[in-house]
Amino acid sequence: MTHTQNKRATPDAAAPTGAGGQLGERAPAVSADGLPTWLEPVARAARTVRAGQLSRFLPPENGAGRQSAVLILFGEGERGPELLLMERSGTLRSHAGQPSFPGGSLDPEDGDHMTTGPLRAALREAEEETGLDPSGVQLFGVLPRLYIPVSGFVVTPVLGWWRKPSPVGAVDPAETARVFTATVADLTDPANRVTVVHPSGHPGPAFLVESTLVWGFTAGVMDRIVHHAGWERPWDRTRQVPLDWRA
């Protein structure tokens, strides 16, 4: 991976979100100030982790790929620390029916994909897909860009703290089947950890949470965050779950 591809989105200290849940004209800021203590290990890991420590699939050096961003949003729910997830509609052309982080492709108005574009895109897409109010989200980190070969997406994971939670749900059933949260306790419970084996033969980490098998890119990033934050507990990696041939 080239030095340019390792470049993170940089914070814009003079760029708050707009009122009423809508993004302002400029990109939001990135700040780790005021995070809850339990989330600080994630912020620390985000500052030093390299792309190769998150995935073996890195963006093509020739610049190919569709630029996109996802919002990895942590909150504090009734059952403790949690992570916002959604299930994609089964009718979508890419990654149909899969649990995922909110997110999608960058639009031209989001701006430069090498700087603050992913910040705007992550919040915009999350609002469009789940209905969350972006003004209640504090962005506290940006992970290196990764690659999803099957769909050609170059993905920038953006980390957020749900400082002021707002109601969420599937905004457009044609795009989102459901929106849900998974507790960090469930995600780190060894009983909920499995290895999935794709029909292609490729194994990968997965989570059995909220009556859902979370696998693929989303599970891979979650697995690495849990590991680098120091939350990982020993689990049985030989416990395998096959994936449907349509996956």
Statement: residue 105 has pLDDT above 90: yes
Q: What is the mean pLDDT of residues 1-26?
A: 40
Classified as helix, coil or strand, 45 is: helix
d(CA 178, CA 175): 9
Give yes or no for residue 139 having a pLDDT over 80.
yes
Q: Band of the pLDDT at 10, cuts 50, 70, 90?
A: very low
Backbone phi and psi for residue 131, each to the nearest 5 degrees, phi listed first: 80, 5
What does the block give as tokens for 11? 């914070």
* pLDDT the model gives residue 94: 53
Residue 149 near residue 57, CB atoms below 8 Å: yes
Cα(224)–Cα(226) distance, integer angstroms: 5
Q: Write down the mean pLDDT value for the chain.
A: 87
76 sits in which H/E element: strand 66-77
Tokens of residue 227, six digits = 């590991």
Which one-letter amino acid corresponds to residue 80?
A: G
- In the prediction, which pLDDT does 36 show? 98
Q: Residues of the chain with pLDDT > 70: what percent?
A: 84
* Tens digits of residue pLDDT in 208-243: 999 999 999 999 999 999 999 999 999 999 999 888
- Residue 28 is predicted with a pLDDT of 80
Q: What phi, psi does 148 have (nearest 5°)?
A: -115, 100
pLDDT surpassing 50 at residue 199: yes
* pLDDT given at position 243: 83
How confident is the model over 33-73, as pLDDT tens digits? 999 999 999 999 999 999 999 999 999 999 999 999 999 99
pLDDT, one tens digit per residue, over 149-186 is 988 999 999 999 999 999 999 998 888 889 999 999 99
User: Strands 240-242 and 137-142, how do they pair?
Assistant: unpaired
Task: Calculate ∠ Cα 22-24-29, nearest 5°.
Answer: 110
Q: What is the pLDDT of residue 91?
A: 57
The pLDDT of residue 9? 44
**Which residues lie below 8 Å from residue 40, measured CB to CB, with a gap of 6+?**
32
- Return the pLDDT at 96: 54
Look at residue 145 and tell me whether its pLDDT is greater than 50.
yes
The pLDDT value given to residue 25: 55
Of residues 10 and 54, more confidence is placed in 54
Lowest mean pLDDT among 26-35, 105-114, 226-235: 26-35
Is residue 20 very low, low, confident or very high in pLDDT (cuts 50, 70, 90)?
Answer: very low
